[in-house]
Amino acid sequence: MMDNKTFIIAGIIVSLLIGCVAVFMASGDPDGLESTALVVQGQKELTGATPEDAEIEEDLTGKFSYSSPMPDYSLGEAMGSLGGLIAIIVGTILAFLVVLGLAYGIKMAGKPTK
């Protein structure tokens, strides 16, 4: 039977392996959220005809913006796939630390005070 420490370490290793393999299998096309942001910014058009009874607001361009420290799971074009691997590893470790901190906080909140 595995103890908690071994289970957590094995989980981190498996998640890093999956993340590192995913870098090479990822699509370069925008996902749903990114695609919607591009439409709102006016940088992309929706395909298909607009229904005649659709209610359309005219002034939607330029209302949405965001930035990311590692956009598209990369560190820029110059780093290529290596930048993607670094971004995945850093992101996985940061996510683990956030969950670990939340778990610790919940554990401490459940302990009775003396």
Query: What is the Cβ-side half-sphere exposure of residue 76, based on CA atoms within 13 angstroms?
Result: 2
Report the C-alpha gap between 108 and 68 in whole angstroms. 32
Name the percent of the chain lying above pLDDT 90: 4
Spell out the residues 6+ positions from residue 66 whose beta carbon is closer than 8 angstroms to its own. 37
Q: What are φ and ψ of residue 44, in 5° steps?
A: -145, 145
**What is the reported pLDDT for 35?**
77
Most confident of 3-12, 44-53, 70-79: 3-12
